[in-house]
Amino acid sequence: MRQLSFDDRLRPRGQSTKKKRRSISWFTIRKRVWKRKRTIIWTVCLIGLSLVVGIWVSKPNSTDLVENQIGRNITEISSALGMRVSNVFSEGRKKTSVKDILQALRVKRGDPIINFDAAEAQSRVEALGWVRSAVVTRKLPDSIYIQIQERKPFALWQSQGRVTLIDREGKEILDTGLESYNYLPLIVGDDARKYAPELFDVMASQPDLFRQVLAAVRIGNRRWDILFVGGLRVYLPQHGISNAWTRLAAANSEKDFFNRDISTVDLRLPDRMIIRVISENKIDGETT
């Protein structure tokens, strides 16, 4: 009789146990799959749908189509809920016409307010001549609000034969209907609007003279000639305008230029004032 080793005696039992365990494992898996078949089916369907959508979205213009459709749906829903433009309110408007504002807004009563782009409308409103700055907002469900800061007329600017109304910053306001602004001084020259604020500040230091100013003409992009009511012309220097203007005010107090037949006063020399008298057709030079 052959003696069996420990391994020989255990091997058949071990193999049998292994097969039994394997059989139990597959049975358990099939059972679990069957219990969860509905979840598995839905998962497979969702994965398939995701693949289909991904392939469709990857095609040209498909994203735009989705966005447009969503936008149309939102517009229709908001309109059905009464979100349509019914009111437009403005604050700070004096010179700007209502017609110009509505044209800049590009909106009319009954339009879906959800489609109104406040930022773009604000840019268009600020492009209007009288508008210095603006804030445009929409207030749901049906109102648009506009806050306007308007420009202040500063002077009439003549350049290359064209006259426009400008503000202190040199921004053009309008070029028609200027008769209402003839009380403002006229500045002449391509670069006149750039240097006029400094000149006007100097002239305002002598109010009596400033009230008589009719126009300021830029000469050679370097200096100014001042035209007064009555025809008097004053030549200002390129530098030292303030001192020259003070000298003119003092001399006018003494000689009363506006009630004499004087055509020009030349202040371009710092130590001399040259006066041309019309009636005598001569030049009278005075040292100051």
Kindly tell me if the per-residue pLDDT of 217 is higher than 50. yes
Pairwise pLDDT comparison (170 vs 46), residue with the higher score: 170
> Does position 19 have pLDDT exceeding 60, yes or no?
no
Q: State mean pLDDT over 116-138.
A: 95
The pLDDT assigned to 255 comes to: 87
Considering the domain 81-150 in this protein, what is its CATH number?
Answer: 3.10.20.310
What is the DSSP code string of the chain? -PPPPHHHHHHHHHHHHHHHHHHHHHHHHHHHHHHTHHHHHHHHHHHHHHHHHHHHHTSTTHHHHHHHHHHHHHHHHHHHTT-B--EEEEES-SSS-HHHHHHHHT--TTSBGGG--HHHHHHHHHTSTTEEEEEEEEETTTEEEEEEEE----EEEEETTEEEEE-TT--EEESS-GGGGTTSPEEESTTHHHHHHHHHHHHTTSHHHHTTEEEEEEETTTEEEEEETTS-EEE--SS-HHHHHHHHHHHHHHH-GGGS-EEEEE--STTEEEEEETTTTEEEEEE-
Kindly state the average pLDDT of the residues 199-205. 97
Convert the pLDDT of each residue in 140-187 to its tens digit. Answer: 888 999 999 999 999 999 999 999 999 999 999 999 999 999 999 999
pLDDT at 254 > cutoff 80: yes
CATH of domain 155-287: 3.40.50.11690
pLDDT score of 113 more than 70: yes
Domain spans in the chain, listed from the N-terminal domain onward: 10-59, 81-150, 155-287
Output 172 or 52, whichever has higher pLDDT.
172
The chain-wide mean pLDDT, for the chain, equals 81
Confidence band (pLDDT; 50, 70, 90) for 55?
Answer: low
pLDDT at 245: 97
Mean of the pLDDT values across residues 265-288? 76
Among the ranges given (22-26, 189-193, 269-273), the one the predictor scored with the smallest mean pLDDT = 22-26
Percentage with pLDDT > 90 across the chain: 57
pTM of the predicted structure, to 2 decimals: 0.68
